[in-house]
Amino acid sequence: MSNALTHKIESPFQYIDQILSELKSDFSVLSHEMLGNRPALVQAIACRALKHHGFEHVVVVGYTRLQSSYHISAFKQWFFRDRKKLRNDIAVVKDHDLPWRKFSALERSLLAMTLTGKDRSWHANYKKLTAGSYALSSQITIASNHIPTKQRPYLLLEDFFQLSGFDYEDDLSVFDVRKNVSFHPAVVHALSSHFSSLGSSKSCFPGPHEGNRWLFRVCNRLDHASVKLPAEDSVFLNEFCGSIVQYLDRRNYPANLEYCRLMSVDKSCFEPESVLDPLLRLNDLVQVAQETAKHRNQKDIDDFLLMSENAFMNSSRAEIIST
């Protein structure tokens, strides 16, 4: 699709045209999480709706969160079973002379994003979106907000209706179900360890966006009281992961402030801890990683991962047999 936008090729838009042409109501909603990271595609869809499908007005509503929070969520949903992503993370960690086996797959993923500087920039995305829609500014409205959190809860659907201009009279609280079910930690550790050791070899276990229902049934078996699992904190202390998160939040804060000013979003949602402390240099963070690795016991880590994999395999086998 990106090539189609660059070279102005029409054929890839046939599916989008089909969707837009079938929207006959006074108000229609198109939603997909992929669109949040592709402002050029969002702009193209909006312009296409106005120019080719007779839409009177288009409202673009997007929701954001701290980059560290976004990445951790993405890892625990997809990246932990994405072989290409896991291999790339290992390569980045090794390039900085860090012993990759001394870190969890999540720690490696956060480190890799930090070391390569590939944080998501909400300011860049919305600046590009608003600039690209300038010619049609009277027909396109762009709005955004930080997603609800435990610290700052609000009704997401109500907020969406307000930002998009929908009129409503019903009590929307009954529809405010935002339960994002997480995979069991043993599944995350077991599959990330399994795929990391496999490299590019094939595996029968589901990759990203595959077999979610089956994996959740395996998670239910792992939650049973009879399954004994080691404590994650016994080998991967939260302090190290927290130090990476703090670094990312501090590094992204200036750009996030610009995004908040551009989109009238409450800046307190993006304020990192210890905002007055000086930002660590990247070399200092690498030094923290080296010290962390030095004090970790490789046998303890290997034993922990082996126990997680065995628990996952036993629960997987039981689930397969039961069906």
At 251-276, the pLDDT tens digits run: 999 999 999 999 999 999 999 876 65
Does pLDDT of 124 surpass 80?
A: yes
**Predicted local confidence at residue 224, as pLDDT:** 81
What sections of the chain are H helices per DSSP?
2-7, 14-21, 39-52, 67-77, 83-95, 105-116, 122-132, 156-164, 185-198, 212-222, 238-263, 282-294, 298-322
> Within 13 Å and on the Cβ side, how many CA atoms surround 173?
3
> Does 148 or 201 have the greater pLDDT score?
148
**Predicted local confidence at residue 278, as pLDDT:** 65
Q: Which two tokens stand for residue 302?
A: 């290997």
Does pLDDT of 142 surpass 90?
A: yes
Give 161-185 pLDDT, tens digit per residue: 999 988 888 888 887 766 667 899 9
DSSP 2-14: HHHHHHT-SGGGH
* Residues near 139 by beta carbon (within 8 Å), at least 6 away in sequence: 50, 55, 56, 57, 58
Strand partners, 140: 58
CA–CA distances in Å: residue 312 to residues 60, 104, 247: 42, 17, 33
Helix, coil or strand: residue 141: strand
Across the range 81-86, mean pLDDT stands at 94
Query: Mean pLDDT in the chain?
Result: 88
Across the range 112-136, mean pLDDT stands at 88
Does pLDDT of 7 surpass 60?
A: no
> Does 118 or 137 have the greater pLDDT score?
118
**Predicted local confidence at residue 279, as pLDDT:** 72
pLDDT above 90 covers a percentage of the chain that reads: 56
**Predicted local confidence at residue 133, as pLDDT:** 75
Longest dimension (CA), the chain: 65
47/43 Cα distance (integer angstroms) = 6
Supply the pTM of this predicted model: 0.87
**Predicted local confidence at residue 5, as pLDDT:** 47
